[in-house]
């Protein structure tokens, strides 16, 4: 540092070959060398695994998990492995079933049964119905039943006949006859054993008519009394018939239900259900008789094994929602639902068409993922749950209420009105694991007040791991195991080393390796394809290198088009010569996951003004906020570095030439500042050097992203036009550890035909690109050395300030005022 705090640095030197790319030693990856490693399927995810274990083991119900991290880091694998391991420590949950509510069929009853009992109960009910469909009709056709039924009928008939006979006898004794007419019974007077007609009655003396009318009225009244007893007798008759039917049905039902209860043993709710079935069958034997009467006669009248399919007997069936086999090992369920729609989460109620109407019953209730995972664990993709209508709300409601309420989605959104059900809610005991990315997690935290109350554990998976012998060994062993598991050819040590280097390239950091195993294994599988095509017995380094090249080639159409436009001078990029106020900046473009670097010409123009630095990209709304921030930092640097005793009197404009899309990021701010300093100092900038890096208000160069692609983008253009040995790229020194350049670049550097130079300050950059020292303030007066870049810049800014003052004085004099 100088006396005024200005950074004083030596001229930067090009990076040596070993700093441009990390290379793994194949000898350290041999099977013998890897024997010391654990071989764990998950590397470097201790933080995420600890959170997973906490969320799985803690007993409190609202400690559900949200697993965050990028795809390919083993999130799903880790979750499933840990859940399956923990599931073995928990007992198998109950079977779940729905049965008919005989009191209110619209409200089916949920049964929780010991594991393995639900299917047994279902099968037993099928056998019970099939057996009784034969036994009950046969019993009602037996001689015993017919005899008892005849006795009851005869008793009723006798009572009816005796009452009518007594009435008829008494009436006849007083010359009154009982007549049956289409309208019912009536009484009439008799004389000489025949009914007195109206004409005869009218000819009788009045006294005799009065006597006959009195008799008719009296016996008519008595007849009403006799007839009034008939409904009571009929009710008694029906009651005795029903009692007989129930008694006969009970003989068959009790024995068969008793056998079912013995077969099921002490099955809790199943015993209560069978008792209720027993009562309903005894009360409704006519169901079996009706089914028998509707059954067509034929050569095979037996119904054994088929009666349970008849609609009349659906009331006795068992709708098994979740069942566990009695021979299965004891374990809690682990359910991964790939399509978490509303219906597939909480179940659905189906309907069938009958006579043009949609109807349903308890046998049409279907289970969802929450039913299958009850008592265990449910794994869901967070983005898919949120994208399905009503699914997220249904999941939250189930977790909060700790119950599963199966409803119809069509009814909820009022698409149409149908006969629906209100099934019993099923108690819920489940640990939900959502898997998603960090942006989605942050969005839920901000937007959903229920989220953190229900998902208290965040399992955050790392994207990268420090590159050292241990981590390289673990990753190598993981890739070998992957090849064996997927029946791939063995991987040679040098091929494995190349894969690990590519992992660091994917991590964008030479000191780390990527934990996104998916892209690495994709390269391995493609390389194995090439090895088999060449009839190799193992995957070689050349196969890995070809897979990498072919992968880039398939996705590089846009990059090639840009490079062709530059080569044809359609996009103007100079790679030789010198120009004032013009610099080659570097940017990164990404299309479909493929990243490539592109040089862009950045130009600056300056003149006297009011201290305004115009960012043309921002003015036309092509520049993003981060890019605009970088340009504003340049203004801060200029105003606090030069001509501090004078007003800032610069009008400058900056632009990315031939840029027709949006620009974001501040990685070009160092290049923009160099272009400004060149325009102010009138010093030419070397066009065979490109530069990348952001700059702060102190003039320090800061790290940026995509450094490898940016270097390679400028290198490819230089290669197309011919490498001169003077071409170079300036990068922030903070990015040295991130370098993992392709072999085409490192080979050129090794041959002395290209350079990568790290810088720490804008002074270093401007000195390298202009060939003139930047200069630092010194001496007693704190001025810059003569003819250095900073001195020329300061002199130009002072000139602008004096010009502006002179103009103001002339304008004031012309207005008749005092000079300012």
Q: Which residues are catalytic?
A: 667, 710
Burial class of 781 by CB neighbour count within 10 A (0 to 12, 13 to 18, 19+): exposed
Phi-psi region of 25 (alpha: psi -120 to 50; beta: other; left: phi over 0): beta
How far is Cα 805 from Cα 813, in angstroms, rounded to an integer?
12
Side-chain-side CA neighbours of 422 within 13 Å: the count stands at 3
Distances (CA, A) of 452 to 60, 66, 97, 247, 444: 14, 10, 33, 61, 8
Q: Which helix (H) or strand (E) holds 85?
A: helix 75-87
The DSSP symbol for 778 reads B
Distances (CA, A) of 460 to 273, 441, 444, 506: 48, 10, 15, 20
How far is Cα 3 from Cα 771, in angstroms, rounded to an integer?
25
493-507 and 541-555 helices, crossing angle to 10°? 30
Label residues 503-513 b or e (16+ Cβ within 10 Å = b).
Answer: bbbbbbbbbbb
How far is Cα 232 from Cα 380, in angstroms, rounded to an integer?
66
Q: In the numeric block, which tokens belong to residue 401?
A: 């209420």
Q: How many residues does the chain have?
A: 820
Per DSSP, what are the bridge partners of residue 336?
379
Side-chain-side CA neighbours of 578 within 13 Å: the count stands at 14
Q: In the numeric block, which tokens belong to residue 439?
A: 């942006």
Q: In the numeric block, which tokens belong to residue 327?
A: 């021979």
Beta carbons of 193 and 216 less than 8 angstroms apart: no
Of the candidates 619, 728, 594, 618, the residue with the CA atom closest to the CA atom of residue 666: 618
Q: In the numeric block, which tokens belong to residue 489?
A: 């050819």
The most distant pair of C-alpha atoms in the chain lies apart, rounded to whole Å, by 165
Q: In the numeric block, which tokens belong to residue 115?
A: 């594991």
669-681 and 762-770 helices, crossing angle to 10°? 60
How far is Cα 61 from Cα 152, in angstroms, rounded to an integer?
64
Side-chain-side CA neighbours of 596 within 13 Å: the count stands at 21
At residue 465, φ and ψ (nearest 5 deg) are -140, 145
Per DSSP, what are the bridge partners of residue 700?
761
CB atoms within 10 A of CB 202: 9
Q: In the numeric block, which tokens belong to residue 475?
A: 């990753």
Locus of tokens 């001689």: 143
Phi-psi region of 297 (alpha: psi -120 to 50; beta: other; left: phi over 0): beta
Per DSSP, what are the bridge partners of residue 68?
436, 460
User: What is the end-to-end Cα distance of the chain in Å, rounded?
Assistant: 38
């Amino acid at each position: 540092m100088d006396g005024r705090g200005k950074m004083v640095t030596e001229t930067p030197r090009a990076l040596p070959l070993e700093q441009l790319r990390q290379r793994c030693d194949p000898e350290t990856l041999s099977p013998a060398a890897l024997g010391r490693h654990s071989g764990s399927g998950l590397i470097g995810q201790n933080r995420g695994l600890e959170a997973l274990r906490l969320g799985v083991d803690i007993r409190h119900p609202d400690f559900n998990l949200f697993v965050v991290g990028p795809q390919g880091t083993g999130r799903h694998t880790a979750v499933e492995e840990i859940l399956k391991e923990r599931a073995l420590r928990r007992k198998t949950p109950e079977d779940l079933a729905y049965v008919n509510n005989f009191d209110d069929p619209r409200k089916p009853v949920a049964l929780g049964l010991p594991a393995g009992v639900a299917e047994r109960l279902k099968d037993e009910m099928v056998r019970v119905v099939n057996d009784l469909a034969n036994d009950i009709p046969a019993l009602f056709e037996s001689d015993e039943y017919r005899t008892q039924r005849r006795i009851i009928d005869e008793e009723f008939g006798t009572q009816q006949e005796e009452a009518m006979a007594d009435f008829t006898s008494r009436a006849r004794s007083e010359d009154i006859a009982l007549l049956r007419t289409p309208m019912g019974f009536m009484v009439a007077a008799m004389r000489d054993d025949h009914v007195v007609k109206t004409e005869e009655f009218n000819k009788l003396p009045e006294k005799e008519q009065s006597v006959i009318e009195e008799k008719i009225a009296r016996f008519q009244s008595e007849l009403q009394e006799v007839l009034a007893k008939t409904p009571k007798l009929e009710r008694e008759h029906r009651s005795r018939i029903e009692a007989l039917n129930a008694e006969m049905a009970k003989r068959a039902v009790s024995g068969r239900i008793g056998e079912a209860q013995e077969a099921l043993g002490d099955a809790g709710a199943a015993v209560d259900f069978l008792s209720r079935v027993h009562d309903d069958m005894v009360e409704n034997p006519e169901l079996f008789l009706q089914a028998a009467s509707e059954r067509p006669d034929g050569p095979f009248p037996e119904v054994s094994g088929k009666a349970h399919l008849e609609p009349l007997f659906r009331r006795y069936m068992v709708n098994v929602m979740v069942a566990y086999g009695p021979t299965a090992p004891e374990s809690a369920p682990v359910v991964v639902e790939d399509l978490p729609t509303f219906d597939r989460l909480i179940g659905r109620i189906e309907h069938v068409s009958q006579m043009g109407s949609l109807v349903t019953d308890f046998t049409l209730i279907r289970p969802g993922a929450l039913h299958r995972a009850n008592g265990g664990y449910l794994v869901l993709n967070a983005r898919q749950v949120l994208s399905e209508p009503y699914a997220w709300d249904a999941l939250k409601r189930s977790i909060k209420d700790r119950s599963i309420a199966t409803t119809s989605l069509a009814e909820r959104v009022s698409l149409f009105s149908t006969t629906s059900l209100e099934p019993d809610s099923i108690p819920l005991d489940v640990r939900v694991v959502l898997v998603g990315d960090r942006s989605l997690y942050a969005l839920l935290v901000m937007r959903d007040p229920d989220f953190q109350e229900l998902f208290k554990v965040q399992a955050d998976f790392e994207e990268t791991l420090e590159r050292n012998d241990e981590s390289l060994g673990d990753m190598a062993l993981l890739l070998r195991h992957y090849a064996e598991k997927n029946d791939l050819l063995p991987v040679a040590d040098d091929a494995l080393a190349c894969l690990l280097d590519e992992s660091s390239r994917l991590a964008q950091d030479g000191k780390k390796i990527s934990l996104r195993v998916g892209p690495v294994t994709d390269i391995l599988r493609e390389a194995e394809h090439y090895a088999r095509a060449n009839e190799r017995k193992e995957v070689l380094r050349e196969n890995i290198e070809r897979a990498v090249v072919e992968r880039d080639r398939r996705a590089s159409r846009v990059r090639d088009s840009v490079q062709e436009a530059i080569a044809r001078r359609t996009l103007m990029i100079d790679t030789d010569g010198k120009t004032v106020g013009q610099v080659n900046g570097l940017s990164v473009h990404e299309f479909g996951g493929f990243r490539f670097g592109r040089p862009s010409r950045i130009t600056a123009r300056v003149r006297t003004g009011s201290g305004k630095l115009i960012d043309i990209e921002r003015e036309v709304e092509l520049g993003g906020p981060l890019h605009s921030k970088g340009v504003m930092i340049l203004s801060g640097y200029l105003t606090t570095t030069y001509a501090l005793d004078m007003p800032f009197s610069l009008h400058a404009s900056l632009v990315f030439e031939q840029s027709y899309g949006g620009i974001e990021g501040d990685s070009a701010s160092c290049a923009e500042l160099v272009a400004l300093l060149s325009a102010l100092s009138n010093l030419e900038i070397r066009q065979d050097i490109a530069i990348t890096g952001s700059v702060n208000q102190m003039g320090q160069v800061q790290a940026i992203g995509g450094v490898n692609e940016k270097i390679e983008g400028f290198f490819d253009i230089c290669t197309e036009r011919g490498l001169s040995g003077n071409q170079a790229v300036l990068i922030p020194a903070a990015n040295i550890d991130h370098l993992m350049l392709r072999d085409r670049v490192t080979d050129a550097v090794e041959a002395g035909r290209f350079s990568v130079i790290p810088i720490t300050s804008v002074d270093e950059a401007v000195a390298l690109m202009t060939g003139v020292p930047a200069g630092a303030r010194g001496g007693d007066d704190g001025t810059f050395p003569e003819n250095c870049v900073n001195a020329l810049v300061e002199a130009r800014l002072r000139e602008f300030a004096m010009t502006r003052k002179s103009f103001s004085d002339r304008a004031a004099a012309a207005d008749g005022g005092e000079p300012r």
